[in-house]
Structure 1
Amino acid sequence: MFSAPILVALMIAGAALAFALERAVRKVREAQARYKAMMAKRIAQVERLRKAGRESLGLKRELRQAKLAVRDVTLECDRLEAEIREMGRPENRLFVLDERRMVGDTDWIALVAAPLAPAGIPDPRSGPTWQGERKFRIWASSEEAVRAKVARKYPPSEGYTVTSVLPRLKPIAAMPAA
């Protein structure tokens, strides 16, 4: 039926076809393996991106919370600084005239007005050391004793006047031991 050369040619063609088919199948399998590897890399990359996104979102929330905390602390600092400025105003200051305290003494607050400064350039060595009124804390047994202590330190002959003397009603905070 077939002659030997044709049969050899058919066998060579069949072998070439089988070889080409096996090579094609190998390339398809390699392509499938590369596709699977790329899909695995894609899935891993997507997971890394999701993780980075979640972390970024968490950091964004933390940053927002930190900014709110900074704003709250800044507002509180501003409020406290305003309160300190208010407390530090001269009319709110309380000066201690005499720290000596006897057994029967009570705590008094005396308002003392300074004399008016002379017109012109004031000389810091003469005249009052302040303007307006100052509050002084004094320990004494009576209002007369308070007035006498103030008069010794700031005599009326130099223009100082005691405008009022009141017992101190606020309790004094205990000083911590050094």
Structure 2
Amino acid sequence: MNWFGIVLGVMIVLIGVKPAFQKAQRQIKRTRRNIKDLQRRRFVLSQQVRTLARESLSQRLTSAADGVESAELTSHVKGLTDQVNSLESVDRRILVTDERRGLQETGWIVLIRRTEGLPMEPTRVVKLWEEGRYYFFFASDLTRARRKAQLRFPAAQGYEILDVVPHEGDLSENPTFGAKKQSA
């Protein structure tokens, strides 16, 4: 064979292989494009997973802190509730309802009781009202002190004035009423 035959044979083989070669090149380009696309999607998904992981960690830390804070608040509320209950069980305070004072007026302590409690009132408050509560009023005499107390706490609403005592001095000491006076 001569050189021409060899070259012609090679050319025929190359022309026959060219479409397959071009097809293989297109397939390689598509595959590379798909690989780049997959890498982009993998990166985006990786970022989303990291964001979710950070958020999950943040929520877990927040929920743990919330649990601790909730427990602290619950114990604090329980302590305050216990303190209120203990104070209300021995509530003998003198409540000042009228701070205005005329020149001729003196202080009067009025013991008031309410026979029936309000529908939604706690039982310990109802009990305190049944025992009687001390109120401080300024008035010129016993009758006016009683009248001021009756205006503020009318008998039509279930209030009853048990005793009225003049009070001279500070309000830090509890006055003695009725039987307590005799036993003291």
The normalised TM-score by structure 2 is 0.50
Q: Deviations over 1:65-120 (max 9, x none)?
A: 3223322222222122111111121x334477xx8x8755347699xxxxxxxxxx
Give, in angstroms, the shift of residue 50 of structure 1: 0.8
Q: Determine if contact 2:110/2:162 at 8 Å carries over to the other structure.
A: no
- 2:114 corresponds in structure 1 to none
For 1:8 and 1:67, the matched residues in 2 are separated by 86
The match for 1:61 is 61
> Matches of 2:75 and 2:108 in 1, distance apart?
37
| Structure 1 residue identity aligned to 2:59 | L
Report the RMSD for the aligned CA atoms in angstroms.
4.3
Matches within 5 A, 1:1-178: 1-2=1-2, 10-89=10-89, 91-94=90-93, 104-106=105-107, 136=134, 153=162, 160-163=178-181
Report the CA distance shift for 1:30/1:139 in structure 2 as closer, same or farther (over 3 A).
closer
Q: Partner amino acid for 1:77? A: V
| Counterpart residue number, 2:125 | none
**Percent identical:** 14
SS in 1 for 2:180: strand
What amino acid is aligned across from residue 42 of structure 1 in structure 2?
R
Counterpart of 1:87, as a letter, is L
Letter in 2 for 1:105: T
How far 1:9 sits from its partner (Å)? Answer: 5.2
Where does residue 175 of structure 2 map in the other structure?
Answer: none
Higher-helix-fraction structure: 2
In structure 1, the residue matched to 2:123 is: none
Give distance in 2, aligned partners of 1:62 and 1:21.
60
Equivalent residue number for residue 119 of structure 2: none
Post-superposition shift, 1:137? 5.0
Task: Please report how far the alpha carbon of residue 24 of structure 1 lies from its aligned counterpart in structure 2 after TM superposition.
Answer: 1.8
Do 1:87 and 1:93's aligned partners in 2 also have CA atoms closer than 8 Å? no
Work out the CA distance in 1 between the residues paired with 2:30 and 2:138: 104
CA–CA separation in structure 1 for the residues paired with 2:24 and 2:133: 104
- Where structure 2 has 5 or more consecutive residues not aligned to the other structure, the ranges are 112-129, 147-160, 164-177
Deviation of 1:37 after TM superposition, in Å, equals 1.0
- Give deviations 1:123-158, integer Å, cap 9, x for gaps: xxxxxx75xxx77456699xxx9xxx9xx946xxxx
Where 1:92 maps in the other structure, the secondary structure is coil
**Using the alignment, how far apart are the partners of 2:4 and 2:26 within structure 1?**
32
